[in-house]
Chain A
Amino acid sequence: MKPVRENLIASLTEELEPVRAFNARDGMGLLAIAAALTFAAVVMVEGFWHGIVSGEASAFFWITSGLLALLGLASAGAVIAMASPRVGNRFDAPVWLSAMMVVLPIGALLSAMPQQHGLDAIVNDMYGMHCLTYSMFSTVLIGAALTLWLRRGATVSLNAAGWFTGIAAGSLGALAYGISCSIDSITHLGTWHIAPVAISALLGRLIVPHLVRW
């Protein structure tokens, strides 16, 4: 063996300290704490819509929330797994669920178009911008927790990690904000509660790879 490599091995061996091996459960724990804090912050700042428990919430509310939860968990699961790289890792679930999510804005547009001023009603929704803004605020903590996890890890698929972090933060953030919003029509949910996912995904793709590169 070459002397330079022998020296390197000797010095790395010398400085060896025990480390705690990565475990996906730790990542899930971190995500759970960030999500719980986000839900708590939404309830404190925006309140809780009691229609969810009294049976007032429409089917669209449950469908949107269910899809957001699935997409958020699948994407967050992919991000957590990415911290420990492996040839053979595949992350197809968030990709397919993202495609499934597109059904909601399409449904919103298709249901609004036949109505007179239907599209104007979506664009000029007086609560739309509020929902978008507060949903975006709700993505911050979850996005930060997942980015922190990736920084501790050894992410080798940087762009994918960026997309999935953004999608996970956007979905779970919008889901958390959703418990405070009493507007449960398809046109409102399918646009103003889904837009944060797309915006957050784009932000994740642009920002996260720079933060987790090693």
Chain B
Amino acid sequence: MIADEATLARLMVAGQKGDKSAYNVLLSEVGLWLERYFRRRVPPHQLDDLVQDVMLALHNKRATYDPERPFLPWLAAIARYRWVDHLRKVYKHESDLLEDNDAIEESDEEAIAARVSLERLFVHLPKKQAEVIELVKIEGHSIRDAAERTGQTESLVKVNIHRGLKKLSALVEKAE
């Protein structure tokens, strides 16, 4: 069970003040939250790297959390930003299946989690862009493979990935 919004916010405020034990608990909880957050949108072998990347970002940018505002939307904005950056960098040609048995635990935080989720970003993308980003950047298929599966030409796949990622980065804060 991952800590709720109020607990995470309280731990973060304590961390900003230099409370090491609170910060240790916060990072452990954030690690679990991020793992769940990214599970369906990152191949398993890249998941831990991305989680650690966001934890480092949280540490380096911890002063930018405004204690008067909720914690999870702040964390999710950073997580989305690092995720889009990660998608730009990775260019894997190997096929890698995502975990399907990722049923999300029921909790009081479901509403917040849904509002800040990565799925919300994809809703705003045209279907052709979303499907090639999923195939190439998330599932690790080649451009040619994605072109065959979607019926798009290879150059169109590349253009759609480029435009889709550009749009995703513009939606990091907006899409909820």
Q: Give the interface of A toward B (CB within 8 A).
A: 1-2, 4-5, 8-10, 12-14, 16-24, 82-90, 152-154, 156-160, 214
Contact = CB atoms under 8 A, between A and B. Distances in A.
Contacts of A214: 57, 61
Nearest to A153: B64
Contacts of A2: 48
B64 A5 contact: no
B10 interface: no
Given A8-B55, A156-B81, A22 B18 contact: no
B135 interface: no
B78 A85 contact: yes
8 contacts: A9-B27, A10-B24, A12-B56, A19-B63, A20-B63, A86-B74, A88-B115, A156-B80
B170 A21 contact: no
Given A13-B24, A19-B62, A87 B170 contact: no
Contact of B173 (A14, A152, A156): A156
Contacts of A88: 73, 115-116, 173, 176
B127 interface: no
A86 B48 contact: no
B163 interface: no
A42 to B, nearest CB: 33
Nearest to A159: B170
Q: Is the interface of B mostly helix, strand, loop or mixed?
A: helix
B143 interface: no
B67 A21 contact: yes
Chain B: interface residue count, which band? 35 or more
A84 B27 contact: no
Contacts of B18: 16-18
Interface of B: 13, 15-18, 20, 23-24, 27-28, 31, 48, 51-52, 55-57, 59, 61-67, 69-70, 73-74, 76-78, 80-81, 115-116, 169-170, 172-176
Contacts of A82: 173
Contact of A9 (B55, B57, B63): B55
Contacts of A9: 24, 27-28, 31, 55
Contacts of B59: 12
Contact of A157 (B13, B28, B78, B170): B170
B4 to A, nearest CB: 17
Given A1-B28, A8-B56, A156-B173, A86 B77 contact: yes
Contacts of B67: 21
A147 to B, nearest CB: 16
Nearest to B71: A86
B172 A84 contact: no
Given A8-B56, A17-B18, A153-B64, 16 more contacts: A2-B48, A5-B31, A5-B48, A5-B51, A16-B15, A16-B18, A19-B16, A22-B63, A22-B66, A82-B173, A87-B173, A89-B77, A152-B63, A152-B64, A154-B64, A154-B81
